[in-house]
Amino acid sequence: TISMIAIDASGAMAAATSTNGASHKVPGRVGDGPIVGSGSYVDGEVGGCGATGDGDIMMRFLPCYQAVESLRRGLTPQEAADDAVARMVRKFPTISSGIVVVDNQGRHGGAGSGWTFTYAYRGGVMNETVVVSVPPI
């Protein structure tokens, strides 16, 4: 699953997610990817979030809505990411999850569980994309 957030030069934000879901799923199954607040979420006044992982579980927690609302309440992107993942791990300790959170200034953080999650970013005048590896909670 790719889930992406972009901020243009004027500060306008958008988010998107695309996935082919889980292998060997029951036909008709839909995961978290196309669910607003789960696969991704963005409020240009605050920030955005993208998610990947066990969509059958993650879509019950709306982790990206949770993370963006945490930004609104004053948490940093890293704190918001950690909190959203921790809420899922508390109920489902073995869940594989990963979320990336960015505020509307481009400050970012990521958190995951069940695997080593990675995310990629590029901004400003960076010459190449940087990949960040996130140890599991």
Partner 1 sequence: SSGLPFVINTWGGPFTAATDAAYLALVNGTAATALDAVEVGCTTCEANQCDGSVGYGGSPDESCETTLDALIMDGATFAAGAVANLRRVRSAVGVARAVMEHTAHTLLAGDQATAFAVQNGFVEEDISTPDSRAACAEWRAAACQPNYRVAVSPDASVSCGPYTPLQVDNTTSAQTQASHD
Of residues 14-73, which lie at the interface with partner 1 (CB under 8 A)?
14-36, 39-44, 48, 50-55, 57-58
Judged by CB under 8 A, how many residues of this single chain contact partner 1? 77
Task: Kindly tell me which of 83 and 104 has the beta carbon lying closer to partner 1.
Answer: 104
Tokens, residue 15: 């988010």
Q: How far is the CB of 80 from partner 1 (least distance, A)?
A: 14
Q: How far is the CB of 37 from partner 1 (least distance, A)?
A: 9
Q: Which listed residue (1, 17, 19, 129) is catalytic?
A: 1
Is the distance from CB of 34 to CB of 67 less than 8 angstroms?
no
Query: Quick check: is 1 catalytic?
Result: yes
**Interface residues for partner 1 in 99-128 (CB under 8 A)?**
99-100, 102, 105-108, 117-126, 128
Q: In what order do the strands lie in the sheet with 97-103?
A: 40-43, 47-53, 97-103, 108-113
Q: Does 135 bind partner 1 (CB under 8 A)?
A: no
Q: How far is the CB of 75 from partner 1 (least distance, A)?
A: 16
Select from 75, 80, 89, 98 the one that contacts partner 1 (CB under 8 A): 98
Q: How far is the CB of 100 from partner 1 (least distance, A)?
A: 6
DSSP state of 35: S
Torsion over CA of 49, 53, 59 and 65, rounded to 10 degrees?
-10
Tokens, residue 46: 């605050």
Strand partners, 40: 36, 50
Is the distance from CB of 85 to CB of 63 less than 8 angstroms?
yes
Catalytic residues: 1
